[in-house]
C-alpha cells in the first residue's frame, strides 16, 4: 500500500504541475499553487522534488503516458516500422499542438547540464521499453533487420527524435515539427527495414 500511495502522491503533484504550466505558463506558476492544485502538502512536495525546476524532467513522464495510450489503440497487424513512424507522428503532434515550446526547450536545456539522473536517457522509461518491444517484434516478423541489435536500433530512433526536437526548439518552432519529421524520420531510419521476403511462385499453377 505504501508504494501505491507514493506513486499516487507523486503523480498528483506531476499532473497538477503540468495543468498549471499549460494553463498559465511555467514562470507564472508557483510551488504553492502546485501544492494546492494537487491537494497534497508542502512536505510531500519537497519529499519528491527539490523545487519547481525539477518538475521539468517529468515532462518525460507526460510523453510516456502518451506512448502508453497510443500502444493500447495501435493496430497489432501494422508493420513494425510503420508503428514506429506512427508513434513518432502522434507524439510530435501532441508536442506541437499541446505542449508549450518553452517547456520543451527548458527540459532539453536542463538535461544538457544535469549530472547524474537524466530523465530523457533513462532506459527504464515506458518510452524505451515500448520501443524495444516493437523492434524485437519487427525483427521476429522480418520487418526490421536482424543483423542490428535491438538496443542499437532503439538508440538510433531516440537519437533522431531528440535531434529533430532540439532543432525545432532552436528554430523557435517556426516550422511544423510533425510535418518535418514525417519526411525525415523514414529517411533517417529506412536502412533498418528488413529485406522483403521472396515469394516463390509455382509456374505450373499459373499456366
Q: 36-94 pLDDT, tens per residue?
A: 999 999 999 999 998 888 888 788 888 888 888 988 889 999 999 999 999 999 999 99
The predicted structure's pLDDT at residue 131: 95
pLDDT at 123 over 70: yes
The predicted structure's pLDDT at residue 206: 37
Beta carbons within 8 Å of 159's beta carbon, 6+ residues apart: none
- Closest alpha carbon to 120 in 155, 148, 96: 155
Q: Tell me how many degrees the CA angle 61-96-131 measures, rounded to the nearest 5.
A: 45
Beta carbons within 8 Å of 95's beta carbon, 6+ residues apart: 63, 104, 165, 177
Check residues 67 and 138 and name the one with the higher pLDDT: 138
DSSP E strands in 7-113: the ranges are none
Question: By mean pLDDT, which of 55-59, 76-80, 99-103, 163-167 is the weakest?
Answer: 55-59
The predicted structure's pLDDT at residue 155: 95
| Identity of the highest mean pLDDT range in 19-33, 102-116, 181-195 | 181-195
pLDDT at 3 over 60: no
The predicted structure's pLDDT at residue 196: 57
Amino acid at each position: 500500500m505504501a508504494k501505491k500511495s507514493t506513486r499516487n502522491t507523486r503523480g498528483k503533484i506531476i499532473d497538477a504541475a503540468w495543468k498549471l504550466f499549460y494553463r498559465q505558463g511555467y514562470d507564472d506558476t508557483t510551488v504553492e499553487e502546485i501544492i494546492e492544485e494537487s491537494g497534497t502538502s508542502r512536505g510531500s512536495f519537497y519529499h519528491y522534488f527539490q523545487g519547481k525546476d525539477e518538475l521539468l524532467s517529468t515532462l518525460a513522464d507526460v510523453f510516456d503516458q502518451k506512448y502508453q495510450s497510443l500502444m493500447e489503440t495501435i493496430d497489432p497487424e501494422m508493420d513494425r516500422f510503420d508503428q514506429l513512424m506512427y508513434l513518432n507522428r502522434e507524439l510530435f503532434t501532441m508536442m506541437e499542438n499541446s505542449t508549450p515550446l518553452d517547456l520543451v526547450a527548458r527540459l532539453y536545456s536542463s538535461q544538457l547540464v544535469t549530472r547524474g539522473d537524466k530523465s530523457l536517457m533513462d532506459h527504464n522509461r515506458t518510452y524505451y521499453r515500448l520501443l524495444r518491444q516493437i523492434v524485437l517484434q519487427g525483427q521476429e516478423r522480418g520487418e526490421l533487420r536482424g543483423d542490428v541489435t535491438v538496443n542499437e536500433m532503439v538508440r538510433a530512433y531516440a537519437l533522431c527524435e531528440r535531434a529533430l526536437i532540439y532543432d525545432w526548439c532552436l528554430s523557435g518552432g517556426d516550422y511544423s515539427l510533425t510535418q518535418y519529421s514525417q519526411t525525415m524520420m523514414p529517411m533517417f531510419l529506412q536502412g533498418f527495414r528488413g529485406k522483403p521476403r521472396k515469394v516463390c511462385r509455382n509456374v505450373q499453377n499459373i499456366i
